[in-house]
Amino acid sequence: MNAATLADRRVHFATVPLRFVKSAPSTLLGIPAAFAFISEYGLEWILAFAAGVALLTMFGNWLVWRRFKYGIGAREIVIESGLLNRNRRSIPFDRIQDVDIERGPLQRLFGLAKVRIETGGAAKDEGVLDSVTLAEAHRLRAALRGGRSEALAQAEVAEPEVESRTLFAMALPRVLLSGLFSFSLIYLAGLFGLLQTFRAWLPFDINDPARWLGLIDDRAVQGYFSPAAIAAVLVLALLVGVVAGAVRTLARDYDFRLTLEDGSRFRRERGLFTRTEIVIAKARVQLGLVKTGPLRTRLDAFDLRFQTLSTGKGSEGGHQSVAPFATDAELRAILDAEGRLRLPDPDRLMMVSKRHVLRVALREVLLPLPFILGAAILFPPALLLLGALPLLVGGALLQRHFHRYALSGGLLFVQRGFWRRKLWIVPVARSQAVELTRTFIQRRLGLANLLVDTAGASMLTNPRIHDLRLEAAEQLSAAIVDQLSGRKSGTDR
Partner 1 sequence: MNALEPGYLWVMRAHAALGTLIALFPAAIGGIIAHDEAGLPYLTFVVPVLLVSVFTILLRPARLHRAWGYRMDPRDLHIARGVWTRVQTVVPLRRVQHIDIAQGPIERAFGVCRLVLHTAGTMHSRVVLPGLGRATAEDMRDEIRSHIREGAD
Side-chain half-sphere CA neighbours of 428 within 13 A = 20
DSSP letter assigned to residue 9: B
Find the binder of partner 1 among 2, 26, 276, 315 (CB under 8 A).
2
Least CB distance from residue 462 to partner 1, whole Å? 7
Q: Which residues, numbered 433-492, are part of the site for partner 1 (CB under 8 A)?
A: 433-440, 443, 451, 453-459, 462, 477, 481, 484-486, 488-491
Between 88 and 165, name the residue whose CB sits nearer to partner 1. Answer: 88
Burial 381-395 (b: 16+ CB within 10 A, else e): eeeeeeeebeeeeee
Based on CB atoms, which residue is closest to partner 1, 93 or 266? 93
CA angle 196, 202, 207 (to 5 degrees): 50
Shortest distance (Å) from residue 350 CB to partner 1: 21
Fill in the amino acid letter for 105: P
**Exposed (0-12), middle (13-18) or buried (19+): which is 28, by Cβ within 10 Å?**
middle
57 or 310: whose CB is closer to partner 1? 310
- Please tell me what DSSP assigns to residue 312: S
Q: Is the distance from CB of 431 to CB of 476 less than 8 angstroms?
A: no
Angle 40-42-43 from CA coordinates, rounded to 5°: 130
For residue 486, the minimal CB distance to partner 1 (Å) is 8
67's CB contacts (< 8 A; 6+ apart) are 80, 81, 82, 83, 86
Q: In angstroms, rounded to a whole number, what is the distance separating the alpha carbons of residues 115 and 64?
A: 17
d(CA 183, CA 245): 5
Nearer to partner 1, 115 or 484 (CB): 484
The answer to whether 268 touches 170, Cβ cutoff 8 Å, is: no
- CB of residue 84 to partner 1, shortest distance in Å: 5
Question: Within 10 A of 367 (CB to CB), how many other CB atoms are there?
Answer: 9
CB 81 → partner 1: shortest distance, Å? 10
- Do 394 and 446 contact (CB within 8 A), yes or no? no
User: How many residues belong to the site for partner 1 (CB under 8 A)?
Assistant: 56
Least gap, CB of 401 to partner 1 (angstroms): 27
Span of 54-62, 120-128, 207-215, 365-373 interacting with partner 1 by CB under 8 A: 120-128
C-beta of 270 vs 416, nearer to partner 1: 416
Smaller CB separation from partner 1, 205 or 482: 482
Nearer to partner 1, 96 or 232 (CB): 96
Interacting span for partner 1 (CB under 8 A) from 119-127, 211-219, 354-362, 399-407: 119-127
Q: Which of residues 66-85 bind partner 1 (CB under 8 A)?
A: 75-76, 82, 84-85
115 binds partner 1 (CB under 8 A): no
Should residue 121 be labelled a site residue for partner 1 when binding is judged by CB under 8 A? yes
φ/ψ of 302, rounded to 5, equals: -130, 145
87 binds partner 1 (CB under 8 A): yes
Whole-angstrom Cα distance, residue 113 to residue 166? 44
Whichever of 7 and 246 has its CB closer to partner 1, that residue is: 7
Q: In what order do the strands lie in the sheet with 127-133?
A: 96-102, 112-119, 127-133
- In whole angstroms, how close is the CB of 388 to partner 1 at the nearest point? 29
CB of 66 to partner 1, least distance (A): 17
Q: Is the distance from CB of 88 to CB of 94 less than 8 angstroms?
A: no
State which of positions 270-299 bind partner 1 (CB under 8 A).
Answer: none
Q: How near is the Cβ of 112 to partner 1 at its closest, in Å?
A: 25
Q: Shortest CA distance to 106 belongs to which of 32, 46, 25?
A: 25
CB of 491 to partner 1, least distance (A): 7
- For partner 1, which residue of 4, 186, 231, 366 counts as binding (CB under 8 A)? 4
By beta-carbon proximity to partner 1, the closer residue of 297 and 458 is 458
Q: What is the biggest distance separating any 2 CA atoms in the chain, rounded to whole angstroms? A: 91
What mask of x and - would describe binding to partner 1 in positions 122 to 161, judged by CB under 8 A? xx--xx---------------------x------------
Residue 114 main-chain phi, psi, to 5 deg: -100, 130
Closest distance of CB 456 from partner 1, Å: 7
Contact 20, 61 (CB under 8 A): yes
Please state, as a whole number, how many other Cβ atoms lie within 10 Å of the Cβ of residue 52: 11
Q: Which of 448, 458, 360 minimizes the C-alpha distance to 405? A: 448
Q: How would you classify the pairing of strands 464-469 and 127-133?
A: unpaired
Chosen residue from 18, 61, 72, 95 binding partner 1 by CB under 8 A: 95
Minimum CB separation of residue 320 from partner 1 in Å reads 15
Within positions 297 to 336, which residues make up the interface with partner 1, using CB under 8 A? Answer: 309
Q: Which residues bind partner 1 (CB under 8 A)?
A: 1-2, 4, 75-76, 82, 84-92, 94-95, 119-123, 126-127, 149, 309, 431-440, 443, 451, 453-459, 462, 477, 481, 484-486, 488-491, 493
